[in-house]
């Protein structure tokens, strides 16, 4: 798949991005906004926020430079849209993990499914991951905001569910280690995507394959939880 194909996919997926237009647009306006979003994802991923000018963005999108302020407010607004929209917006629903209203397995399935959902967008994910790596190396504040607004609440919900399931009154370091390890199962599908594609490309080749992979991740996560439960029982026995 060429870069042009990937950028075209961004335009196609934009219709599902939560309706986050800065202003109402006509059909031609939607097309211009999509072209800006596609150009921004590519250029910001390659060059970073500071080294990408509004003139470069407008030229790559084939629009007037004023379109950036019209649709996104400014370059920072366009960067934020490129950072969040192609991956499907935020993952705020992870903050709704309620250990008292669902089983641990149900919570894990909900969480892991939401994390891996963007992988169904195919090659588009590569550009999105490159932009995230760039943000980590050259932070603008979006990564820190994502941690506080989305990742931390999801982690806290998972920790609460693990504590309830393992009958641990207060989360300790091992609970946090377990939570990070469970999430790591899904994160590797992103960071190890090139390796997986080289070794066993069929594992993420289709949305159906990703759904099967997610089902297995839930099984693996539950096995990790069972292992931690056994470890704690052995520790209790040794301490009695």
- Mean pLDDT calculated for residue range 67-72: 96
For residues 19 and 27, the model is more confident at: 27
User: Domain coordinates of the chain in residue numbers?
Assistant: 3-85, 90-239
Is 85 buried (19+), middle (13-18) or exposed (0-12) by CB count in 10 A?
Answer: buried
The 10s digit of each residue's pLDDT in 15-26 is 433 344 444 444
3-state secondary structure the chain: CCHHHHHHHHHHHHHHCCCCCCCCCCHHHHHHHHHHHHHHHHHHHHHCCCCCCHHHHHHHHCCCCHHHHHHHCCHHHHHHHHHHHHHCCCCHHHHHCCCCCCCHHHHHHHHHHHHHHHHHHCCHHHHHHHHHHHHHHCCCCHHHHHHHHHHHHHHHHHHHHHHHHHCCCCCCHHHHHHHHHHHHHHHHHHHCHHHHHHHCHHHHCCHHHHHHHHHHHHHHHHHHHHHHHHHHHHHHHHHC
pLDDT of residue 89: 47
Domains 3-85 and 90-239 share a fold: yes
The 10s digit of each residue's pLDDT in 109-132 is 999 999 999 898 877 888 898 999
Q: Per this entry, what is the length of the chain?
A: 240
The 10s digit of each residue's pLDDT in 156-214 is 999 999 999 999 999 999 999 999 999 999 999 999 998 999 999 999 999 999 999 99
The yes/no answer on whether domain 3-85 falls in CATH 1.10.357.10 is: yes
What is the CATH topology of the domain spanning 90-239?
Answer: Tetracycline Repressor; domain 2 (1.10.357)
């Amino acid at each position: 798949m060429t870069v042009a194909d990937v950028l075209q996919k961004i335009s196609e997926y934009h219709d599902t991005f939560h309706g986050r237009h800065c202003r109402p647009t006509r059909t031609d306006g939607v097309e211009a906004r999509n072209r800006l979003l596609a150009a921004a994802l590519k250029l910001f991923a390659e060059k970073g926020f500071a080294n990408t000018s509004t003139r470069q963005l407008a030229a790559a999108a084939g629009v007037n430079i004023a379109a950036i302020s019209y649709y996104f407010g400014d370059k920072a607004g366009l960067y934020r849209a490129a950072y969040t929209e192609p991956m499907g917006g935020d993952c705020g629903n992870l903050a709704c993990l309620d250990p008292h209203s669902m089983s641990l397995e149900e919570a894990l399935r909900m969480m892991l499914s939401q994390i891996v959902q963007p992988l169904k967008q195919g090659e588009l994910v590569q550009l999105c991951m490159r932009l995230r790596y760039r943000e980590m190396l050259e932070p603008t504040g979006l990564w820190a905001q994502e941690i506080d607004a989305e990742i931390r609440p999801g982690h806290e919900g998972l920790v609460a569910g693990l504590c309830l399931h393992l009958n641990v009154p207060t989360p300790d370091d091992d609970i946090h280690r377990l939570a990070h390890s469970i999430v790591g199962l899904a994160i590797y599908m992103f960071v190890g995507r090139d390796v997986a594609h080289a070794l066993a490309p069929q594992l993420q080749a289709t949305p159906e394959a990703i759904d099967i992979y997610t089902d297995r991740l839930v099984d693996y996560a539950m096995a990790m939880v069972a292992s931690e439960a056994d470890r704690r029982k052995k520790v209790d026995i040794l301490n009695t």
